[in-house]
Amino acid sequence: MLKYTALALATGLLSLPTLANNDELAQLKQQLAKLQQQIQRIEEKAIKAKQPQPSVTSGVKVGGAVRTNYSHTSYNDGNKNRGGDFDFDLLRINFAGDIGDVALNAEVRFFDYMTAVKYAYAAYNFAKDWQVQAGITKVPFGNWPYNSHNYFFSTNYYIGLEDDHDLGVLFQRKLADNWQLDLGFFKNDELGGVDGYVDDRADRYSYDVVGYRQGSEGIYDTPTKSIGEYNTFAARYGYHIQHTGGSTEFGFSGQVGGLHDGTERVGDSLAWALHLNSNIGPWNLQLQHGEYDHDIDGVNRMAVGAYAFYDSIAAQATTSSANIAYSFSVKWGAITGLQFYNDFGIIYDKSDASEDTWMNVTGVSVAAGGLFTYFDLVHAKNQPFVGGSIAGDSTDTERRFNINIGYYF
């Protein structure tokens, strides 16, 4: 269109009698040539704008948290005498973003006593409702993303059945048509399994089986018989229904895999759970029930590792939990949100005949700008970080009052 306009203009100008002079005609031709060059550049830009453009790298953003912790306990005489202890908890660095169509996510945690990678994976949406994640990713199991509201999680966390992360591939179906599905294959735990190249197999964020107990071996001893989880298949299904005041998810989970001693398969590992997660107005209700079984001939107690120390669990047990929370928004200075909760969990029918483990956490979480704080009053028996072990035989109920303050950026 621009070319035709220029030609028409040139034709009209050349026909004017006032331009009979040769000098004027030459000048006009030069101006016309410049005009045609400008038109050509404009057309080239228009064509280029219509062509597909290469994907733009959006980059990876860096965030994280710094957390400190105050605790006052019933089971530590020194702590009680000092009126409690205030300690550094952790420095957390998060990486999240995408390069082209591939999303990247990672979290590294720095403690006084260890450094641990919680997760590190690449994700790709390969279909409308499906995403694949590869790397250290979360094992799908039970109420999602957590079967708890408090700082200490539930009793399931300490047997590797809540917020567990392993090395593998996870396929996630997004919620559509009221249902979602997670399917995962995990080659081994996040530290490379039984023969992973690490200095200490207890330096990890999430609990995994790292050995089994023999004879008079102590609950907290480094295991003399090392083993590792491998070739684990995991699946989680959730069905969502809408109702007055909110929605409810019903679902089930299962996982099955092997246990390896570095030379050969020595046993099998399996777990299953039924779960319910219901939101009704400001209320949230979570219920979960299941079993796990680490099956090795003649073994009834396993060694687990996390947070730079070894602990013990029964090889087989039943777990149940019930949690309730109430959330609401406020405008009290910097405080914008509160959640009150009571979380209860129990592990029972243990294969090593040890006493039941139970934990009840009553508390409130407070959101204020970049600050997020948990105030927890914990009562428990045979519970890690509350004066006991899941393989313990204490008949005493212990108490811990805990405040965890985190600044998130």
- Number of structural domains found in the chain: 2
In a shared domain, residues 152 and 10: no
In a shared domain, residues 91 and 38: no
In a shared domain, residues 401 and 269: yes
Cβ burial of 304 (10 Å; 0-12, 13-18, 19+) is buried
pLDDT of residue 215: 87
In a shared domain, residues 7 and 115: no
In a shared domain, residues 27 and 153: no
pLDDT of residue 111: 98
Domain extent, residue 14, equals: 2-50
pLDDT of residue 6: 45
Q: Looking at 25, 50, 75, which one is the last position of a domain?
A: 50
In a shared domain, residues 133 and 184: yes
Look up the pTM and report it. Answer: 0.85
Alpha-carbon torsion (208, 209, 215, 217), positive or negative: negative
pLDDT of residue 216: 87
In a shared domain, residues 158 and 306: yes
Rounded distance between C-alpha atoms, residue 219 and residue 393, angstroms: 11
In a shared domain, residues 203 and 97: yes
In a shared domain, residues 175 and 37: no
In a shared domain, residues 250 and 211: yes
The angle at the Cα of 50, spanning 47 to 53, to the nearest 5 degrees, equals 115
- pLDDT by residue for the chain (409 residues), tens digit each? 444 444 444 444 444 444 345 666 666 666 656 666 665 666 555 555 545 444 445 789 999 999 999 999 999 999 999 999 999 999 999 999 999 999 999 999 999 999 999 999 999 999 999 999 999 999 999 999 999 999 999 999 999 999 999 999 999 999 999 999 999 999 999 999 999 999 999 999 999 999 999 988 999 999 999 999 999 999 999 999 999 999 999 999 999 999 999 999 999 999 999 999 999 999 999 999 999 999 999 999 999 999 999 999 999 999 999 999 999 999 999 999 999 999 999 999 999 999 999 999 999 999 999 999 999 999 999 999 999 999 999 999 999 999 999 999 9
In a shared domain, residues 67 and 127: yes
Rounded distance between C-alpha atoms, residue 59 and residue 298, angstroms: 53
pLDDT of residue 10: 46
Q: Please report, for the domain that includes residue 68, its CATH number.
A: 2.40.160.10
In a shared domain, residues 328 and 370: yes
